[in-house]
Amino acid sequence: MSVTLPVKKNDYIDVVFEDLTHEGAGVAKVDGYPLFVPNGLPGEKAKIKVIKANKGYGFGRLIELYEESPDRVKAPCPIYKECGGCQLQHLSYEGQLKAKEKQVREVLTRIGKLENVKVHPVLGMSEPWRYRNKAQVPVGEREGGLIAGFYQKRSHEIINMEACLIQQEKNDEVVRVVKDICERHGIPAYDEEKHKGQLRHIMARYGLVSGEIMVVLVTRTSELPNKQNIIDEIVERTPGVKSIIQNINSKKTNVILGDETKVLWGEEVIYDFIGDIKFAISSQSFYQVNPEQTKVLYDKALEYANLSGEETVIDAYCGIGTISLFLAQKARKVYGVEIVPEAIEDAQRNAQLNEITNVEFAVGQAEVVIPKWYEDGISADVLVVDPPRKGCDEALLQTIISMKPKKVVYVSCNPGTLARDLRILEDGGYKTLEVQPVDMFPHTTHVEAVALLELN
């Protein structure tokens, strides 16, 4: 039986936006049928064109605004509409924080069935621009010259970019200088269709506190014509550069970095600080891109853990040891586990760097390693999890439930999987006391959160 939809493709209709999706599109309804329209804001009246009508929902394009939201602002970035990097520059920062708080509240209720959990207002930035300490930009060619920028929304067309308003200005500078040097030395850009050419990406990392800079040239082969001249010029024109790296990625892939890395000049790592803790950052390290807000996030996790110095803490998904080392300053002993061996090497190096000795790291799946620790008599007073976007592994959640730590501190980068996992922990005997959202990525739709659970 065919369903008759209230709209069809190419219809022009007048709508009122009711809500925002988690991707930042406006939501309008026609006879209960939802239409998702980029750039629409709740409360706005507009004319839209239907560009796709699926069975359960459709997509539209904003044609004309009749009534604007008081939260609408003019996006300061000149390529905002083409570039896919930010989704919310047309919404005031205050409006963004409210939308993110609402998103967290709604998923906790809808997915987690958690009715009475205290959700605090989002902790935002006083200066929500220029916060990213890592730039990785694809390189292409146009009319014989090199271009570097971001991919256009839903495409592999590179938009040339002189400045990105959410990047540290230092990184913009580095990308401009390196692109200019490579162009003058005739380095051809990689062509992904033909799998020819040389320079795939330029990556820059900047230590916000240390001021140290790393430049990474991602190339298709290990050949780099005029290598010495390129190195000399980068050193001469980039004050603060401590490390120049070549990464070789010979595969036909969208993954940026390949498996082979060589130091062309200087050190293998640069250093930076989050709070008092010093971190060594390699070209491959997973290091938080907004260190200022990372400190806000970790301070909250530490506050929730409420350590007296007597506790044993387990940090599942410990990465390069960022949270573990914060916790170790206040705990008796911290155990960290992570599946990526290189991250654990980084974690061990970072512990030595800070002379922190009450922390131990292991490589493996949290859901395998933690039960083994438990068998060996290691159990946690506080368990901290900071999983990837897909949330905690089901087996890990069951391990937590059987191990019964008094407290669980859940750091999340995806409110949907957070809500799902909190529900499982609640059913296993925990109570979610409060959730603190933190805005790590202003002008995008992402929101992080820290939740505190206690054993009933």
Is residue 306 one of the residues assigned to a domain?
A: yes
**Same domain for 432 and 310?**
yes
Is residue 89 one of the residues assigned to a domain?
A: no
What is the CATH classification number for the domain harbouring 413?
3.40.50.150
Look at residue 312 in the predicted model and tell me its pLDDT: 97
**Same domain for 332 and 423?**
yes
Is residue 91 one of the residues assigned to a domain?
A: no
**Same domain for 205 and 305?**
no
Domain count, the chain: 3
Look at residue 2 in the predicted model and tell me its pLDDT: 65
What is the CATH classification number for the domain harbouring 31?
2.40.50.140
Q: Is the dihedral of CA 366, 455, 312, 122 positive or negative?
A: positive
Is residue 1 one of the residues assigned to a domain?
A: no
**Same domain for 359 and 246?**
no
Look at residue 1 in the predicted model and tell me its pLDDT: 57
Is residue 429 one of the residues assigned to a domain?
A: yes
**Same domain for 341 and 426?**
yes
**Same domain for 347 and 266?**
no
Three-class HEC string of the chain? CCCCCCCCCCCEEEEEEEEECCCCCEEEEECCEEEEECCCCCCCEEEEEEEEECCCCEEEEEEEEEECCCCECCCCCCCCCCECCCCCCCECHHHHHHHHHHHHHHHHHHCCCCCCCEECCCECCCCCCCCECEEEEEEEEECCEEEEEEEECCCCCEEECCCCCCECHHHHHHHHHHHHHHHHCCCCECECCCCECCEEEEEEEECCCCCCEEEEEEECCCCCCCHHHHHHHHHHHCCCEEEEEEEECCCCCCCCCCCEEEEEEECCCEEEEECCEEEEECCCCCCCCCHHHHHHHHHHHHHHHCCCCCCEEEEECCCCCHHHHHHHCCCCEEEEEECCHHHHHHHHHHHHHCCCCCEEEEECCHHHHHHHHHHCCCCCCEEEECCCCCCCCHHHHHHHHHHCCCEEEEEECCHHHHHHHHHHHHHCCEEEEEEEEECCCCCCCCCEEEEEEEEC
Domain boundary pick from 239, 274, 309:
274
**Same domain for 386 and 327?**
yes
Q: Token match 């580095």: residue?
A: 174
**Same domain for 447 and 371?**
yes
Is residue 74 one of the residues assigned to a domain?
A: no
Look at residue 156 in the predicted model and tell me its pLDDT: 80
Contacts of residue 395, defined as CB under 8 A and 6 or more positions apart, other chains included, come to 367
Look at residue 398 in the predicted model and tell me its pLDDT: 94
What is the CATH classification number for the domain harbouring 234?
2.40.50.1070
pLDDT means per 10 residues, the chain with 456 residues, are 84 96 94 96 97 95 97 95 90 98 96 95 98 96 87 83 93 96 94 92 97 98 94 97 97 93 97 95 92 96 97 96 96 96 95 98 95 91 96 94 96 98 98 98 98 97
**Same domain for 316 and 352?**
yes
Q: Which domain holds residue 344?
A: 98-126+290-455
**Same domain for 120 and 199?**
no
Supply the residues annotated as catalytic.
Answer: 413
**Same domain for 361 and 268?**
no
Domain boundary pick from 248, 274, 300:
274
**Same domain for 103 and 40?**
no
